[in-house]
Amino acid sequence: MASLLQMGSPLLYSNALVKTIQRPQSFACTILAKTTPNDDSPVVPRRSAKYQPSLWDHHNLLSVKNTYTNDKSVRERDLLKENVRKMLDDESSTHSEQLKLIDDLQKLGVSYHFEREIDNILTISYQKDRRNFTEYKMEKDLHDTALEFRLLRQHGFNVSEDVFNVFMENCGSFDRDDISGLISLYEASYLSTKSDIKLQKLIRFFATQQLRDFVDTNGNKDLASSEIVEMVVQALDMPYYWRMRRLATRWYIDIYGKRPNKNLLLIEFVRLYFNIVQAVHQEELKYVSSWWRETGLANQLHFARDRIVENYFWTIGQIQEPQFGYVRRIMAKINALITREILDIVKTISFQENIFS
């Protein structure tokens, strides 16, 4: 029997009581073949792909321990979270500082804690920019403009690509030495729509070429030890908007920690919270792995891959927030049952006709 999955506080909701939710009584599935008397139908041999067994041992998964599943860690998390919230509400911060903080919170995987504050900041920014569009070049630089454009579009605001006009007279006014600005410009280009011709055909091409030249020039120098080269390489490999958020968060925590001007309060909060969420995911994985083992299907469906851990990890790629654990568990079960190999290995013409007719 797997370890019990703890839901609610202390891991998820700080003011709720600790609850222990048990699975229904375990059961085993048995695959039965439907037969009829005097059935002389030829037996169709079942192919086998001879997949390798799972790399993950069930008992090893159950033995995983996490030291962040305690009330002390949760109280510390809540205290740090409120201090970070004050940073967003700090009226002395400039608009540029607020945008960069929102970007860091997003990439560090904790922005959903501050949705109200972030929405207020972006709404004010959007309304201000619409009123003062002609003054864009007086207040904004390339990095701030591209960052604001990306954040606004990610949050559903209708921002025109024309905000970049002031920077792109024949692509000559872009600052080629502003690597942070070029990264932001490159990332912003991946939030384009079909009507954004300049973003897709001019800006993205220009930013990509400049970043590639930067890597070619500085990749083997001492500068390679800094986070700026790593960020350029990461962006060129795959833009942030396309990445799996949980993996991108883990990578960005290390990058942010290397910054000389990093916010010590923020990095402490993020590292603690990442480990708390990881503990939630580990308990969910124990639950799903125990469910899969108790069904007995791994032994009976020998023609299909036994990949319950990978199925669960796929759900984290879709939704990582800890409060959606029930959704992840159900999705992992469905993924395990609706396995593609049942069609790939067992299929016959008559089988497919019966399934898809």
Query: Digits of tens for pLDDT over the chain (357 positions)?
Result: 343 334 444 444 343 323 434 555 555 655 554 555 555 555 555 555 677 778 888 899 999 988 898 899 999 999 999 999 999 999 899 999 999 999 999 999 999 999 999 999 999 999 886 655 445 444 568 899 999 999 999 999 999 998 888 776 645 556 677 899 999 999 999 999 999 999 998 899 999 999 999 998 887 765 545 788 889 999 999 999 999 999 999 999 999 998 888 999 999 999 999 999 999 999 999 999 999 999 887 777 776 778 899 999 999 999 989 999 999 999 999 888 876 555 555 555 554 455 444
Q: How far apart are CA 99 and CA 86, in angstroms?
A: 15
18: left (phi over 0), alpha (psi -120 to 50) or beta: beta
DSSP structural state of residue 94: -
Q: How far apart are CA 36 and CA 45, in angstroms?
A: 19
Radius of gyration of the chain (CA): 26
Phi, psi (rounded to 5 degrees) for 296: 75, 5
Structure tokens at 99: 């945008």
Residue in 248, 254, 180, 188 with CA at minimum distance from that of residue 214:
180
Q: How far apart are CA 77 and CA 276, in angstroms?
A: 9
Quote the pLDDT of residue 223: 53
Quote the pLDDT of residue 153: 95
Q: What is the identity of the amino acid at 80?
A: L
Question: From residue 274, how far is each of 103, 105, 311 by CA, in Å?
Answer: 17, 12, 21
pTM of the model: 0.80
Quote the pLDDT of residue 29: 58
Contact 180/143 with Cβ under 8 angstroms? Answer: yes
Quote the pLDDT of residue 166: 79
119: left (phi over 0), alpha (psi -120 to 50) or beta: alpha
3-state SS track over 8-64:
CCCCCCCCCCCEEECCCCCCCCCCCCCCCCCCCCCCCCCCCCCCCCCCCCHHHHHCC
Residue in 110, 97, 94 with CA at minimum distance from that of residue 266:
110
Q: CB atoms < 10 A from the CB of 271, how many? A: 15
Cα atoms in the Cβ-side hemisphere of radius 13 Å centred on 111: 21
45 preceded by a cis bond (ω within 30 of 0): no
